[in-house]
Structure formats: C-alpha cells, structure tokens
Amino acid sequence: MSEQKISVSGASLFTDRSAFCHEMANILLQKRLDLMATLEHLKASGGTVELDQTLQGRLSRMDAMAQQQMAKAGHTRLTIELQRINAALKRFEEDHYGVCCRCKEAIQAERLMADPAAPFCMECVEEIAEEKADHP
C-alpha cells in the first residue's frame, strides 16, 4: 500500500495507510469476536417453543414465538455482518483491504472508520444504488 497521510476532519491520525489498515483490522477482529459471542447467545435463545399449554397460556406461547422469530431475524442479520467482517479480514490478509472491490481505488478513511467492513468506496456505492434503481 502506498504511504500517505490519513486524516479525518483535518486531524492526522496515521502517517501511512498501512498503519491505518492494521488498526482497522484490529477493530474488525474485535467485532468478529463480539458477533460470535452474540450469535452463540441468540442460538441458545432460539430453541423450540413448548407446545404444552398447561405450562404456559396461549398468549405467553404467542409471545414466546414472537421472541423466537425476533431472535432468528437477529441471528440472520448478525450472520450477514459476520460474513462481511470475514470478507474484509480476508482482503486485509491479501493486502487489498481499503481498496474498493469495484473500481480498485482507495476507500476513504472516513468511510472505513464508519464501516470497517466496507467493500466499496462511496462513489461505487452510489453507482450500484443507481443501477439497482434503474433495474428493479
């Protein structure tokens, strides 16, 4: 990666892009650990809802089923985020982290700080959104 001064809002944070990418990789590793722990917790709370209404009333069972569905939706969302983080860490290992997967230009530091797993620069994100809007 080329050496350049990385700054956010005018304040210099790193003297080269490599140090910045290493810091982002550390953040991604911590996020991955946190997500994996949360997924394990959700997995435990997503068990089968008891059918015996003598143990719990109909409304309690409906509430339990709703909570189970929310846990499954949360699990799906977190699994997708974990996949994004793993992909970003793979890009880091291959020395492509911080490079847009579409145009191959450097992703802005501000964007990576907001979303360390971002695979695209903002220009490409906007182009992709326009393409999707044009072809629903």
Mean pLDDT of 19-38: 94
Mean pLDDT of 97-113: 95
Average pLDDT taken over every residue of the chain: 82
Determine contact, residues 12/6, Cβ cutoff 8 Å.
yes
21-25, 52-56, 79-83, range with the lowest pLDDT? 52-56
Reply yes or no on whether the pLDDT at 1 is more than 60: no
Q: 76-81 — which CB contacts under 8 Å span 24+ positions?
A: 78/35, 78/38, 78/39, 78/42, 79/39, 81/35, 81/117
The pLDDT, as a whole number, for residue 56 is 57
Q: Look at residues 48, 51, 44, 42 and name the one whose alpha carbon lies nearest to residue 73.
A: 42
Which pTM does this prediction carry? 0.73
Tokens at residue 77, please?
């969302």
Q: Which fold has domain 6-134?
A: Four Helix Bundle (Hemerythrin (Met), subunit A) (1.20.120)
Q: What are phi and psi of 14, to 5 degrees?
A: -135, 150
* Side-chain-side CA neighbours of residue 115 (13 Å): 12
Determine contact, residues 3/16, Cβ cutoff 8 Å.
yes
Reply yes or no on whether the pLDDT at 26 is more than 90: yes
Distance CA(114)–CA(94), nearest Å, equals: 22
